[in-house]
Structure 1
Amino acid sequence: MRHNPGRFRAIVYAVLVHAVLIGLAVIGFRWTVQSPSSEVVQAVAVPEPPTRKPEETNKRAQEEEAARQKAEADKRRQAEQKQQQQQQEEQEKLAQQRLVAERKKQEAQEKERQKRMQEEAHKKEEARRQKAAEQTLKESLAAEEKAQLAAASAARAGTEIQKYRYLIERQVSRNWNRPGTTKGLKCEVLVKLTPSGEVLSAKVERSSGNAIFDRSVENAVYKAAPLPLPEDPALFDNFREIRFVFDPDKEA
C-alpha cells in the first residue's frame, strides 16, 4: 500500500461509497416505516474511484517481481557464499590436520631411524670391542705360547749345549795322555771349532802352572777332533768358541 497510493485511494472511496449506501438504506428504511405513503426517494450520486491504467499495473508488478527475484537471488548467493566459505574452512582444517599428522609421522620415522642408527652404532662398537678383546687375547695367547716355546727351546738348547759341552770335555779327556804326576793340576782352555767339529785352535788361557800339563791338554784337544756338535746348526754359535776347565781329578 505504501508503494501504491492510487490503490489505497480506490479502497477508501469504495469504503465511503459502501458506507453512504448503507446509510441511505437505513434512512430509507426508517423513512418508509415512518411515512409509508411517501413515494419520493432521493438518491445521492457517489463518484467512482479513479481506475489505473493497465500498463502502470503491469510495470509495478514487474518491478515488484524483479525486486523479489533479486532478493531471492541475493539470498541464494549469500547462502552459496556461506556454504563455499564453510567448505573452504573444512578443507583448510582437513589440510592442516593432514599436515600435522604427516609431520608427526615424519618425526616418528626420524626418531625410529635415529634409534636404529644408535643401535647399529652400539652393535658395531660392541663388535669392535669384542673383536679387539679377542685379538688382544689371541695376541696374548700367541705371545705366551711363543714365550713358552722360546723358553722350552732355550731349555732344550741349554740342555743340548750342556750335553755337548760335556761330550766334548769327555772326548778330550779320553784322548789325553797323562804326563806323569798331575794330582791337583787343572787349566782353562779356549777351543775354536768349525761347523764340522774340526779344531781351529786350542789354547790354555789360564795355566795350571805346569807347562807340560798345559801342553798335554792342548794336544788332547787336537787329537780328539772332530769334536761332537749338536745336529741343529742354530746352536753352532754356542760352540764356535768354547771354554772349559780341564780337571783330571774331576773326570776321575
Structure 2
Amino acid sequence: MPDTNYSPTNLSHIVFGITGLSNTWRNKRWYIEAWWRPNITRGYLFLDRAPMEQLPWPSSSPPFRVSEDTSRYKAYNKHPIPHAIRMVRVILETFKAENNGVRWYVMADDDTVLFVDNLVEVLAKYDHRKYFYIGANSEGVAPNFYHSFGMAFGGAGYALSYPLAEALVENLDICIKRYPTLYGSDHILQSCVADLGVSLTLEKGFHQIDLHHDISGLLSAHPQSPLLSLHHLDVVDPIFPYMNRNKSVNHLMKAA
C-alpha cells in the first residue's frame, strides 16, 4: 500500500531496485556497499542468475533476488542490449517485493553510487501522491541525441512515485511488446511512462557520467543542487588523486 500521509519523507519511504549481473558483481559490489545501509535501506539487487560462487552472501550487500524468466518476450526482444527487458522489469519485480508504506522507487545499476540523504531531501520536495518521473539526461549531447532528451538515464538512477510505479507495472508487459527495438531499458521505461502522459522532471544532481578521464571540472562546477548520484566511475579517473577508485569513493562518502 502507498504511504498517503503528510509526514516528512524519510529514507524508510524509499525502495531501491538495483540491476546487476552475477559475473560482474564481485567487482561492482563496493560501489553499492559504499552507500547501502544494512537493515536501514530498503530494496533488492536483481541478478541474472543465482551467485552461487559468492555465497554466503555478505550482510553489507543488498539482499539479492534472481530476475524472473523473460523468455516469453523472445519475439519482442530486438534490443541492442541483451538484458534490456530483464532490466526494465526490475521496477515490476521491485514493486511486487516491496509495496507497503512506499512513497518512491529509485532504480539504479550495480555501479551507481547514490547519496541517499540528498535523495531524501530532494524527493521530499515533491508530492509522492502524484505521478512523478525524476531523473536527468546524460552530460553528453550524443547520448541524448541517440536515445532521448526526455529520458532519465538509468545508470544515473531515477525515481518513480508510488502511484506512477503502480500504473506502470500494471501495463508494463504490454508496453514492453510495444517497443521491441529501443536501445536499452531506460528508453523503454521512458516510453512507457510517456504513454501514461508523464514527462521527465529534471533533477541535475543525477549523473550518468558519459565522460572519460578527469571529471574534477564537472564536479567543481556542479549546479546549486544536491549531488544525488555518480555512475560509470570505472571509466573515469579516481575522484581523489593518489587513491584507487574504491578508496576514493569511500572517502567521498565520508564527506557526504
Using the size of structure 1 for normalisation, the TM-score is 0.14
Higher helix content, 1 or 2: 1
With CA pairs under 8 Å and 6+ residues apart, which has the higher RCO, 1 or 2? 2
Using the size of structure 2 for normalisation, the TM-score is 0.14
Higher strand content, 1 or 2: 2
Larger Rg: 1
